[in-house]
Every structure is written in structure tokens, then in C-alpha cells.
Amino acid sequence: MKVEGITKKFPGVLALNKVNFELFKGEVHAIVGENGAGKSTLMNILSGILHPDEGKISLSCSELKVENPYMAKVNGISTVYQELSLADSLSIAENIITYQKPLKRFGFVDWETMYKRCDNLLKLFDKKDLKPKTLVKELSLAEKQVVEILKAVSSEPRILILDEPTSSLSRLEVDKLFYLIRQFKKKGTSIIYISHHLREIFEIADRVTVFRDGKDICTNKIGEVKEQQLVTKMVGREIKTFYMGYNNISSKEYFIVDNISSKKIKNIKFNVKKGEILSIYGLVGAGRTELAKAIFGLDPIEQGQMFLNGSEVKIKNPAMAVKNRIAYVSEDRKESGLYLEKTIQDNVVSSKLYSYQKMGWMDDGQVKKMAEKYIGLTKIKCFSAKQPAATLSGGNQQKLLLAAWFQIDPLILIIDEPTRGVDIGARNEIYNLIRNMAQEGKGVIIITSDLPESLILSDRIIVMKDRRIVKEFLRDEATEEKIIASATGVAI
């Protein structure tokens, strides 16, 4: 595939500026770049969701006009979208097999074959819990991500586009995806792979192209370039590996979760101290998000108690959690995080609207001031605080979500996948912000699938498996190998 001189303008931004890009048959071509560099915009053009203002795409030397997603499919282009594209009220099977459904006589759908095909696909990721008939709305974000991947591969594409396919997957699922990618490569499929995890790029890609400010900066074979060089090209400056010192932790147990169970988690017991960052690790389906939801009042607690600063807190719904100053930053910014149609500034103040009232009216000046402060703190790339949140790139939406919760000043902050889709430069800024929250005496609970992140950020790590806590590590005793071993139940 050849992309020549593609330009795409949005109001106030030149998202792509005469981009050239070449994809060979059977190669894995990675694209890296800061949040807002234009990666997803190009992928949306290749998959027929957006139309370029200028430029040309050709496939096997003949020009290709991808006017809509259906034409992309017909031409063998299949995409795993960064902001998933599943239909929540349909089953896994209906979501995965949308194109060329198996049919019986008289054009009726052959459900039996469809479920069997879907079951075989689910086996690729070893997901025994997931059944073809399960509705997508019942899945966690990571499980949805697996379904999104299976949906894209089910049609045996010629070109497979993966836009941040692993942002909520843990290492074990990443391995399964890489195995799948290698199989596809052998069959001659070409793959475009976008990720902010450079480790993944060096593991799976044959070539890598850097995007910056809507331009393609350079393309290299993977063996000819070092990680540091890529980072410097992406952000235009050097970034040192991040190291965090020790937090100043009080010895008192500040937030205590005592033996709670819900429909989805069993007998969970742990505590967080004032000033501590605790992270929870586990494979997809281990029950981490379900734990957060139980604490925050989204899933009813069937037994057990919780204590904050010495007194019991009873939480039956999220409003009660917020009242007790417990915040939960959801992993799913699209579904349950942001108000996408509202402006950036409205989103920043959304969780604490009452404090911006002046004689019954919203104090616009105050809202603007606060929004600007947090846009600056989290380094959101935008042209105006009044642009809709939907027009931000994936990583910048993530920063906005954090900004909205940081400003309510909680005592206990639970963050599910804090840096999902955030680029390397901004990642460090977010780590700093989280650390500052802890330093101010809050208790921070981080749920992350990114092991290096967990090791950098946390004072203590607990590991979940099969909806229970199976292990706890202090920062100094934790290693990637040990954590993975307890998450998978394999002895080392």
C-alpha cells in the first residue's frame, strides 16, 4: 500500500500535512508519535471513516478510493480502532462476525456455524469465560479489546491496522496477540501497528515510522534504530528514564477494605496508607476493575466492610463514594469517563460543578481559570478550552479524564489504567501528578496492566487472580517475573 501526500485539516488543526507512507506485503510497520501527532487520523482515512482533503492511496499499484468502511473491508483492510467500535447491546458473536455471515437456506443466518466460528476465535486468546452469546456490554474494557481484535482478524484481511491494540491488555494477552500477528505475517498479511509501548514495537515490528505534528519524520528498519533515538524524534527532545524516589508514607492504615465480596469478587482484604501508592495487577478477567467498581458503589457489596480514616464508610452508589471523597477514574474514558460532546472546560469541572456557582449561575471566569490550570498541568494538546472533548486525540482525552478527577481533591483516588494511550513524554508528567497526590497525604490505588508502570509508580503491589488477591509485594521485592508468575499461577 502506498500513501502519497495525504493532508487532513480539522477546524484549528492541520492533523496530517502531506504524509507519505509505504506498507510492504507481509511486514509489520509500526507508527509511533506523540499524542495528537496524527496517527489515528491516517488510520481513519485508510479505513474509510474520514476523507482526506488531498492525496492519494494506492493498493498493489492501482489507486484506491476508500469512501466508507465497507469499501475498506471489501479491499481487505481491517482495523482495530483505538476507541473501540463494538455494539454494546449485541453478543460477542454478532460483533465479531459482521462481514460474510454464514447463511442457511433462504438467507437465514446459520447461528450454529457462527457460534462455532466465534468459539474458535475466542480460543486464540484462551478466554474460557467468554461465550459467543455473551453480550458485549457485560465485558470489561480489556475483554472488549480482545473482541475488537478478533472482529478485525475474523475476515482474514490483507491489511490489518492495529491502533493501540494493547492499551488495556496484560502481558499474557499481548503475547497471544503477537503470536497471531506472526501467523498473519506468514500468510502475507501486511500490518500497521500503533503503540506507545516502544518495547512492543521492538519486539514485533520490521520497520518503524515516526509521526510528529502531522508529518512523517522518518522510517527505519527496526534493527537500525535505538529506542532513545525514536523518542527524541517523536518528542523533539531527550527524555530520561523515569525514576521515582520513595513516598513519605504514614504507618497507619488509612483506607481499609475488610473482606468484601460482590457478585464478581471474593473476600477481598487490603489496606492503603496515607501517602501510599498501591497498585493492583492481574491478567484480563482477574477482577481488578470489578474490585474498583465494588468499592465505588457501582457493583453492590454483598458482605464485608470498608473504613476510611478510622470510621466505617457505607457506599451504595457512586454519589455516596464521592461524598466520602473517594474517586474512581474509570478505564473506559469513552463509555463512562468523559462527556465527549461537551467542551474540554466543562469536562474539567464536571465532577465538582457546585463549587463553580455564583448566585445560581456558573462562574465562567472561574471555570475558565481552573480549566486552563489543569490543561496546563496535564499538558493537553488543544487549540481552545472550548473545543468538544470528542475532538481530542486518544491520549489527550485520557489526560482530560485525569484532570477532571484531580481537581475534586479526593482522599482516596482509584485510577484504572492511568496512562492508557498516553505518550512517553506526557507519561512522566502524569506519574509526577499522581505522586504529588500521594505526597499531599492521599491514598492512591492504581490498576494497571503495564508492569513497568506498576514497578515505577507503586510502593506496594497486590496481585489478583480468579477474582481474589493471591499475593502482595513490597516495592523492593517485586520483579516483573515474580508478578507475572503469581498472576498466572505458575511457580518460578
Ligand X SMILES: Nc1ncnc2c1ncn2[C@@H]1O[C@H](COP(=O)(O)OP(=O)(O)OP(=O)(O)O)[C@@H](O)[C@H]1O
* Residue 108, CA distances (Å) to 70, 133, 340 in order: 21, 18, 38
Shortest separation between residue 234's beta carbon and ligand X, angstroms: 10
- Residue showing cell 509485594: 473
CA distance 28 to 476: 37
Say which entry of ligand X, Mg ion, none residue 339 contacts (CB below 5 to 8 A, set by partner kind).
none
Residue type, 471: K
Query: What ranges in 154-197 are assigned the alpha helix state H?
Result: 171-186
Say which entry of Mg ion, ligand X, none residue 330 contacts (CB below 5 to 8 A, set by partner kind).
none
Q: Which of 203, 195, 178, 168 is nearest to 282 (CA)?
A: 168
Which residues have a Cβ under 8 Å from the Cβ of 376 and sit 6 or more positions away? none
Which residues have a Cβ under 8 Å from the Cβ of 421 and sit 6 or more positions away? 35, 82, 164, 167, 196, 394, 395, 397, 398
For 394, phi and psi rounded to 5 degrees? Answer: -50, -50
- Tell me whether residue 205 or residue 392 sits nearer to ligand X (CB atom): 392
Q: What is the CA radius of gyration of the chain?
A: 23
CA distance 106 to 436: 64
Say which entry of ligand X, Mg ion, none residue 99 contacts (CB below 5 to 8 A, set by partner kind).
none
> Which residues 70-89 are close enough to bind Mg ion by CB under 5 A?
82
CA distance 164 to 149: 11
Say which entry of Mg ion, ligand X, none residue 38 contacts (CB below 5 to 8 A, set by partner kind).
ligand X
Q: Which of 20, 26, 23 is nearest to 7 (CA)?
A: 20
Shortest separation between residue 84's beta carbon and Mg ion, angstroms: 12
Q: Which of 359, 360, 361, 380 is nearest to 371 (CA)?
A: 380
- Tell me whether residue 41 or residue 170 sits nearer to Mg ion (CB atom): 41
- Tell me whether residue 85 or residue 366 sits nearer to ligand X (CB atom): 85
- Tell me whether residue 224 or residue 341 sits nearer to ligand X (CB atom): 341
Say which entry of Mg ion, ligand X, none residue 33 contacts (CB below 5 to 8 A, set by partner kind).
ligand X
- Tell me whether residue 44 or residue 279 sits nearer to Mg ion (CB atom): 44
Residue type, 364: D
HSE-up of 14 (CA within 13 Å, CB side)?
Answer: 10
Q: Is 40 in the site for Mg ion (CB under 5 A)?
A: yes
- Tell me whether residue 34 or residue 459 sits nearer to ligand X (CB atom): 34
Q: Are 363 and 357 in contact (CB under 8 A)?
A: yes
Shortest separation between residue 416's beta carbon and ligand X, angstroms: 18
- Tell me whether residue 40 or residue 448 sits nearer to ligand X (CB atom): 40
Shortest separation between residue 376's beta carbon and ligand X, angstroms: 17
Shortest separation between residue 347's beta carbon and ligand X, angstroms: 14
Q: Which of 15, 13, 43 is nearest to 30 (CA)?
A: 43
> Which residues 382-401 are close enough to bind Mg ion by CB under 5 A?
394
Q: Which residue is nearest to ligand X (CB)?
A: 395
Sheet of 62-63, strands arranged across? 13-22, 2-10, 54-59, 62-63
Shortest separation between residue 126's beta carbon and ligand X, angstroms: 28
Say which entry of Mg ion, ligand X, none residue 37 contacts (CB below 5 to 8 A, set by partner kind).
ligand X
Shortest separation between residue 236's beta carbon and ligand X, angstroms: 15
Shortest separation between residue 63's beta carbon and ligand X, angstroms: 23
- Tell me whether residue 113 or residue 232 sits nearer to ligand X (CB atom): 232
Q: Which residue ranges make up the site for ligand X (CB under 6 A)?
A: 10, 13, 15, 33, 35-41, 82, 381, 391-396, 421, 423
Say which entry of ligand X, Mg ion, none residue 48 contacts (CB below 5 to 8 A, set by partner kind).
none
User: Binding mask 408-447 vs Mg ion (x if CB under 5 A, - otherwise)?
Assistant: ----------------------------------------
Say which entry of Mg ion, ligand X, none residue 70 contacts (CB below 5 to 8 A, set by partner kind).
none
Question: Based on the number of CB atoms within 10 Å of its own CB, is 429 exposed (0-12), middle (13-18) or buried (19 or more)?
Answer: middle
Shortest separation between residue 71's beta carbon and ligand X, angstroms: 20
CA distance 218 to 204: 19
Beta pairing, strands 361-362 & 357-358 = antiparallel
Shortest separation between residue 201's beta carbon and ligand X, angstroms: 13
Shortest separation between residue 317's beta carbon and ligand X, angstroms: 32
Cell digits of residue 332: 473506559
- Tell me whether residue 195 or residue 247 sits nearer to ligand X (CB atom): 195
Q: Are 48 and 67 in contact (CB under 8 A)?
A: yes
Q: Which of 295, 291, 353 is nearest to 327 (CA)?
A: 295
User: Binding mask 344-383 vs Mg ion (x if CB under 5 A, - otherwise)?
Assistant: ----------------------------------------
- Tell me whether residue 15 or residue 260 sits nearer to ligand X (CB atom): 15
Say which entry of ligand X, Mg ion, none residue 10 contacts (CB below 5 to 8 A, set by partner kind).
ligand X
Say which entry of ligand X, Mg ion, none residue 262 contacts (CB below 5 to 8 A, set by partner kind).
none
Q: Are 345 and 353 in contact (CB under 8 A)?
A: no
H or E segment and range at residue 319 = helix 318-323
Say which entry of ligand X, Mg ion, none residue 392 contacts (CB below 5 to 8 A, set by partner kind).
ligand X
Binding residues (CB under 5 A) for Mg ion: these are 40, 82, 394
